A = this chain, B = another copy of it.
Amino acid sequence: MIRAGIVGGTGYTGIELLRVLVLHPEVEVAVVTSRADARIRVDALYPSLRGMIDVVFSAPDVAALSDCDVVFFATPNGAAMLMTKALLEKKVKVIDLSADFRLKDTKEWEKWYGMEHVCPDLLAEAVYGLPEVNREAIKSARLVANPGCYPTSVQLGFLPLLEKSLVDVSHLIADVKSGVSGAGRKAELAMLMSETGESFKAYAASGHRHLPEIAQGLKSAAGESVNLTFVPHLLPMIRGIHATLYAQVSHSKVSLEEIQALYEQRYAHEPFVDVLPSGAHPDTRNVKGSNRCQIALHQPQGGQTIVILSVIDNLVKGAAGQAVQNMNLMLGFPEDQGLKTLALYP
C-alpha cells in the first residue's frame, strides 16, 4: 500500500480522485487538504464517501504531505508550483492536475495564466501526462503535468492524422463542448443551474487557455507548428466532453477506410482509447464515470474534410482518472488498476 495525498480535496477533481482512490487496492489516501474545510471529516462534506474514508481535511502542509509516496494537486492554477519543489526534494512523486506544469514555454505560460512562474526549471523537467504519447517518460517521472480536459479529447482525436502528416495543419478546427463540471466547484453566478440549464453557448471564442496546451501537443505530433481554431462551448449537463474536429486531407486519395485502419492500429494496445466502428457517433453518456476515450471517424460526402468525434468524461480521462493512470505508471502498478469501472448508462 502506498500513501497518497490530495491537495485541494474539495473541488470536483479532488472528490473524483477520492472516488477512484478509495477503491484502489494499492493506495491508502492518507492526507486530504482543504484550507477552508480543515478539521471537517471528508465524508461529512461528501456523503457519497460515508464508510469509505476516515480522513479529516487538513490545511495544506509540506511536512504532512512529505510522508506520502505521491501527492496529487487538484488546486486552482498557481498553487502547485509553490509546493512542488519541496515535495520532490522529499522524494515525493507529484501529479499536478492544474495547469502549472503543462506548457514548456515559460513566457507562453505566463502570458496565458497571468502570473509569474516560480519554478520554470521544473517546467522543463515535468512530463506531460498523456500516456498515449509519453508512456515511457511518465514511468520514470518525478513530476507529471496532468493534461487538461479539452486538450485530452482534442489531442487523442487529432494525433494519428498528424503523426502521419495526412492533413493540412494550417486549417485545424476543434469545436468542443463541455459539461459544467469542467468549470469547477466555485460559487459563480454564471454557473448557477438557472444560468446554464436548458441553454447552450460558446465562450472564450477569441482565445482559451487550453489553446497553447493543445497546440504544443499537436505541434509535437506533427513535427511542425499547427494553426488551430479552438472554440469551447458549455453544455447543459454535468459530465462529458465532445470534441468535433475538422481537418482537410492533404492528398485527396486518402480514404476513410485507410484512416479508420490507421486509428484502430494507433490505439490497438491502448487500454483507454476505443475506436468505434465506421459510421458510429460516440455519445458522452457511454464514457460517463469511466476513464475511456471513444473516437469515431467520418468523411462527409466523401470530400476533403475529415470529421473526428472524440468523447471523454472530463473528470475522469480529462482529470482524475488520467491522473490515476499516470500514478499507476509512475509506481509500477498495472496501468488500469482501479480504473476498470464502466460508464453509468443510462
- Chain A residues close to B by CB (< 8 Å): 12, 15, 19, 22-23, 46-52, 171, 173, 175, 177, 180-181, 183, 185-189, 191-203, 205-207, 227, 229-231, 233, 235-240, 242, 244, 246, 248, 274, 276, 279-290, 294, 296, 298-301, 303, 305, 307, 309, 311, 340-346
Instruction: Specify the chain B residue showing the minimal Cβ separation from A52.
Output: B342
With A229-B307, A307-B205 known as contacts, the answer to whether A200 contacts B294 (CB < 8 A) is: no
Considering the chains assembled together, what is the distance between the CA atoms of A191 and B192 in angstroms? 6
Measured between beta carbons, the chain B residues less than 8 angstroms from A52 are 342
Contact for A276 among B15, B47, B237, B299, CB less than 8 A: B47
- Give the shortest distance, in Å, between A207 (CB) and chain B (any CB): 6
One of B188, B230, B233, B237 near A187 (C-beta < 8 A)? B188
Contact B23 A205 (CB under 8 A): no
Chain B residues contacting A290 (CB-CB under 8 Å) are 48
* Beta-carbon nearest neighbor of A287 in chain B: B48
Residues of B within 8 A of A173 (CB): 173, 246, 305
Q: Are B192 and A48 in contact (CB under 8 A)?
A: no
Most B CB atoms within 10 A — which of A191, A301, A341, A346?
Answer: A346
Q: Which chain B positions have C-beta within 8 A of A307?
A: 202, 205, 229, 231
Show 30 A/B contacts (Cβ-Cβ < 8 Å), sorted by A: A12-B194, A22-B342, A47-B276, A48-B287, A50-B274, A51-B274, A183-B194, A187-B188, A188-B192, A191-B192, A193-B197, A194-B346, A197-B238, A198-B237, A198-B288, A199-B283, A200-B242, A200-B284, A201-B311, A202-B244, A202-B281, A205-B309, A206-B300, A229-B246, A229-B307, A230-B300, A231-B244, A239-B344, A239-B346, A246-B246
- Expressed in whole angstroms, the minimum distance between the Cβ of A262 and any Cβ of chain B is 18
Task: Return A248 CB to nearest CB of chain B, in Å.
Answer: 7
What is the distance, in angstroms, from A12's C-beta to the closest C-beta of chain B? 6
**Closest CB of chain B to A169's CB: distance in Å?**
14
A281-B201 contact given A231-B300, A276-B47, A290-B48, CB 8 Å threshold:
yes
| Contact A242 B233, beta carbon cutoff 8 Å | yes
| B185 touching A240, Cβ below 8 Å | no
Residues of B within 8 A of A201 (CB): 242, 281-284, 309, 311
The 3 closest A-B pairs by CB, nearest first: A199-B285, A48-B343, A194-B346
Whether B237 lies near A233 (C-beta < 8 A) is no
In-complex Cβ contact of A205 among B15, B294, B298 (8 A): B298
Q: How far is the CA of A244 from the CA of B246 in the complex (A)?
A: 13
Q: A185-B194, A188-B187 are in contact. Are A299 and B47 (CB under 8 A)?
A: no
Partner of A193, one of B238, B242, B280, B294: B238
Q: A229-B300, A289-B344 are in contact. List 13 more A-B contacts (CB 8 A).
A: A23-B340, A48-B343, A51-B274, A180-B192, A183-B194, A187-B192, A192-B193, A193-B193, A198-B239, A202-B307, A206-B279, A206-B300, A238-B346
Contact yes or no, A181 B198, CB < 8 A: no
